[in-house]
Amino acid sequence: MNHGATIDLFGTLIRVALLVVVLFSPLVAIQTVQAGSSTIIEGGDTPKKGIGFVLLTSLQRV
């Protein structure tokens, strides 16, 4: 092998390694996430009472 072919092979190996890292990093990240087993149920917010009046006054024609 000559010097040019060695550099091309080395560049190709770097590209393949980067591609593998990019493709498999989400899988590794999913494995390391510590998700809790508890379920959180929050109460709903009370609806706002004043929005009807605002809509009524803004939609009236002068």
How many structural domains is the chain composed of?
A: 1
Domain membership flag for residue 10: yes
Domain membership flag for residue 19: yes
What is the pLDDT averaged over residues 42-62?
Answer: 65
Domain membership flag for residue 43: no
Domain membership flag for residue 54: no
pLDDT of residue 47: 63
Range of the domain at 19: 1-33
Domain membership flag for residue 25: yes
Q: How far apart are CA 41 and CA 38, in angstroms?
A: 10
Counting residues of the chain whose pLDDT is more than 90, the rounded percentage is 21
Q: Token pair for residue 58?
A: 């803004």
